[in-house]
A and B are shown apart, each in its own frame.
Chain A
Amino acid sequence: MTNHWRDIQNADLILIAGANPAECHPVGFRWFMEAKKRGAKMIHIDPRFTRTSAVSDVYARIRTGTDAAFFGALINYVLQNDLHQKDYVARYTNAALIVKEGFGFKDGLFTGFDGSDPKNPKYDTSTWNYELDDQSFAKTDPTLQNPRSVFQLLKTHYSRYTPEMQASITGIPVDQFMQIAKLVGEMGRPDKVMTLVYAVGLTHHTTGAQMIRSAALLQLILGNMGLPGGGMNAERGHANIQGNTDNAISWENLPGYLGIPRPGQKTIDDYIKATAPKKLRPDSWNYLGTNYRNFLVSLLKAWYGDAATKDNDFAFNYIPKPAGNSSWLTIFNQAYTGKMQGYFALGMSPVSIGPDVNRIIESLKKLKWLVIMDPFPNTTSEFWHAPGVDPKTVGTEVFMLPATHWIEKDGSFTNSGRWAQWKEAAVGPSGEARHDHWILAELFLKVRELYQKEGGKFPDPILNMTMNYKNPLRPEMDEIAQEINGFDLTKKERVAGFAVLKDDGTTASGNWIYAGSYPQTLNGQPVGKGGLMARQGTEDPTGMGYFHNWAWSWPANRRVLYNRASADGDGNPWNPKKPGIKWDADKKSWVGDVPDYPATMDPKDPKAWLPFIMTGEGTARLFSTTLMADGPFPEHYEPMESPIANPLHPQVQNSPMVMLYDGVKDTFGTAKEFPFVATTYRLTEHEHYLTQWVEHLVKLQPEPFVEIPLDVAKDKGIQSGDMVRVWNKRGKIEVRALVTGRLGALDLEGRKVYQIGIPIHWGFVGLAAEQNKDKAKYWLVNALSPYVGDVGARTPEFKSYQVNLEKISSGKPV
C-alpha cells in the first residue's frame, strides 16, 4: 500500500477492484466503513457479489481479467470530459515530457515488436523513451499541447476505450459504467480524494501488472497519489508477505528493491549504470539514482563484512547473476525439465498453490531432494504418497523439518500498510521444532564447514558471509533486526536512517528501506529490543490516523508514500481539511506526516526539487519508459483462455509478450469445449491452506464447493448440495455445488457468458481431508489453473480460465 489501513478512513470515494476486503480482510475493512460513516461512497468491481458488494453504493459485475479495459475507459472518460486534476497532471506527472519520434501503437502492438521467434517474443524498446536535449534532459511542453507529449499520447491511446467498448469487454453495462464514471470523475477536484484498493484479483493474470498500472494512471490523472485517503493500496494476503518482499525473497531483487545484478554487469559501475534511475530534469533530485551505490555497498558490507573492500569492488562478484526470469513458474519448469536438484519450501505448499498442480507434482518427482520447513504437514510434504501416487515410483528424497510458528518466536511482521510491528515470543518451541532462521543458520554453517574441509566451487561468498551473532548457530531476531537497520562502522553505532549510508565501506545496512527502524538513540534515549518497531504509542496529534509512535513504517516512518504530492506548488495541502504534509513558513519546515521531501526545503525556492524525489523525472510516470515488458501504456489483452475475441484488436488476442513454457500450449482449451469462465478466491474462515489444521475453522467451512449461477444450475439440473465435477484439459475437481444469485450472466455484445466461482482452501491434507479420504483426492482447485503468468512478474493466471461442469450425484439440500 502507498497508504495504510487506518488511512482509508480519509477517503471520499473507495474504489475496490479484484478484492473482497469485507470477507478477506475483515478487520481492515472497519476503516472502509469508518470512511462511509464520514460520508464516503464505495464502489465494488468484482465477478462475484460479496459482502463487500453488499455494503457498497455501486456493485458492478465484471468479467474476470478485463480490469485494464474498465480502468482504461475511466481514464478516457476523465480526459474526454476534462475532469483531471490539471495542476497535478501538468507538474506532478510526466504528462509534459516529449516522447521520441517513431513511438507509436497500432493494432494491439507498440513499436518495436519482434514476434519472429514465438518462444521468445521481444520488444525493441528504443522508441519507448523521451526526446532528450543536449544535456540529456527530457524535453518538455508545459502546455501539454505537443502531439508527442505524454499527455496527448495518453489521450490518444485511451480514446479507443469508450463506454461501449469497455461494455463489450468487461460486461459492465454502459449506463452502470456511466454511473461509476461520474462518481470517479468528481475525484479530480483538488479537494476530493479516492482510494483504490485491490488484491490478487488484479495480480493473478497474464496482464496483472498492466491492470494495476492502469488503475495507478487513473489515480495520477485524478491527482490522488500521495494524498491521505488516496493512493494505490494492495491488500496483502499473508502476515509478512510485505516484509519478505521488502527483504527480497524474490528472484529479481536484493533487499530494499535494489535490482538483482544481471550477466554482463561485471562491476558495481556497470550495475549502477544499468540499474539506477537517471536524472532526466534539471530540477529532479533523483534521490534513488543518486544513492543507489550507497545502498548497494552498505548491503554488501552487511553481508560480507571485512571481505568486502574497495579493492575487490566490495565483493560485488559474490552476488549470483540469473540468466533470465527465475520466478515461481520458472523454478518448477526447471524442476519439470530435470534441471533442478533440490528445492526448499518454507511455509508454503506448491502442490496446493499450483498452477496446474499435476504438472507441479510431476516436477517434484524429478527432484533429487525436497526440503519442507513447516509447523504442519502439507500437500507438498505428503506429495510422494498423495492419492493416486505410488511412493515406490517417486525417487525424491524428502526432508520434513518441523519449524516453530509465529507465537513461539519474536521478530517483526510488516503489514500491507508497511507498518513493521515487533512481536514477542509467548512460549518456547513445541517438541523438537526449531526456528526457521536457526535451521538455515545451522545448515549454512555445516555447508561452510564442508567447503573449509574439502574446498569446492567458488567458496568465497560461503566462507566470507558474516555471521556476527553471539551464537552463530542460534542468531537472535534482535541481532538480525539491528543488522537490517545497519551500522556506522567507524562509530560502531546503529545508523539513524538511510540518508547517512555511504559507498566507501564505512557503513553497513542489510536493507536500506528499514534503516531507521532501529536507531542507536531516539530523542537522546537509547533504543531497546525490537527498535522502533516495538513502540506502542497510541497518540494521533494530527487526527489523520498516522500514529507515528505505533510501531514503525518504511521508509523513515512515513505513513503515506509520495506525500509531497499532497500539497500544491506552494506547499499548501490540496485539501486543507485533510493535510498530508504542509509547508510551515514560520518554522521553515514541512509539518504533518514524515515528508517525502527534504524536511526544510522551501517549496517556493526556485531551486526546490520536483515532487517525486525517487524518479529520474522528478514526477510520477504516466508513460513508463523501461519498466514494463509489454508497453509504456497499459493495454487490454484477453486471458490466455477466454470466451471472446479481443474486441480492441482480434488479431492480437493475448499479450504479445506472454512466455509459454514447453508443453503448456497443449494444456489450453477453447471456450467451445469449456464454456464457463472460472475464477478463484478465499473465504473469511480460512487462510490459504494452513487453516485446514484449525478445528474451529474447519467446522465453519468444512468442505470445498463451487459457486454456480442460477441459470447454469437450472440448465444442468444442479441443486445446492449436489456433487459436481468441474474440469478442463489440465485436471478436475469434484466438490459440492452452491447455487447462487451472487454470480450471474454477463452480456457481451448480446451473448450471455457465465462465470463460476471456486474457493481455494482444500486439498488432500488436513482435518477435513482426513474425514473425507476418498473425496479429497479431487479437492485441489489449482488442478485447473493454467501454467502461464504475467508477462513481467510471471504471477500465474490463477484468476481467469475456462472450465466445463456437470452434475455427478444428488446431495442433501443445503
Chain B
Amino acid sequence: MKDSQPTRWATTAELTIATPEGVLFRLPLAGPSSRLYAMLLDIAIVLGTVNGIGLLIHRIFAKAPGFGVMVITLAEFAIGFAYGALLEGFWNGQTIGKRLFHLRVIDQSGLPLRIEQAWVRNLMRVFDALPFAYLVGGLSVLSNPQMRRFGDRVAGTLVIRQAPLVAPGEEFWTRQKYNSFMDYPTIAIKLRRAATPELASLIQDALRRRNELASYARREIYRELAAYLQTEISPFPDELVEMLSDEQYLINAAGVLFGDQRLSKAYR
C-alpha cells in the first residue's frame, strides 16, 4: 500500500510529483504575496457579506434587536470559517480570491483536496492568525520550502499557482528561412550544449515581450543578453556579429536553440 503512494519533493517554487505509474510532473507553488492578496480579497468578501446580512437581519429583527445581534455574532463567526472550508471543499480548492489570483489548494499528493482537509486548514486559522495579522502563518509560509502555513501542514495540503495555459504556438524564430548562425555548426552546437533551460527561456521571453518593453529597456536587455552569449557561451566570428543587431543576434540564437534540429543545410 505504502509503495503505491506518490513520492514528492519540492524545490523553491515547485513541487515534483512522481505518480505510482512512474509519471513525473511539477506543480508551481503559490508565493506568499499572491496568497496574501487573495486572502485580503476573501476577507473583504466575508466582511461585505456579513455586513449585508447584518443590515438585513437588523431590519427583520427591528423589534427584537438582541436576537439580531445574536444572529449576526454567530453568523459572522460561522461564515468566517465556513466560507473558506465550503468553497475550497466544493469548488475545486478555490475561494473567490484564490480563483481570481489563479491559486488552488490541493492535496500534497497532487490530488484534489477532500472536504475534511478544507475544514482542517480553515479551522487551523485560529493558530495561523496568532498573535495578529497572520504572523505565525506568514512566518510558516516563508520558512517552509513548500510554502505551507500550519493549517496546510496539518491538513496535508498545498497552495499551487494555476494560471490558465494554452498549448504554445509556434514562434517565428523556429521557422527562419535562413539563419546565419547555422553556417557555423561547431559554435551553434556549443550554444545548444551550454545554454541552460533558464537561459533559453530568458532569451525566448525577451523576444516575445519585444513590444511590451520600452525601447530603451529593450535595447539594454538585448545588448546585455547578446553580449553575454557572445563572450561566455558561443563566440561567433566578429565579422558575422558586426553585421547583426543585438535583436537579430538573439533571434538567431533562439533559432538555434528552439528551431529545426538539423543544424546546417550543408550537412544534409
Do A and B pair up? The answer is no
A interface list, Cβ under 8 A from B: none
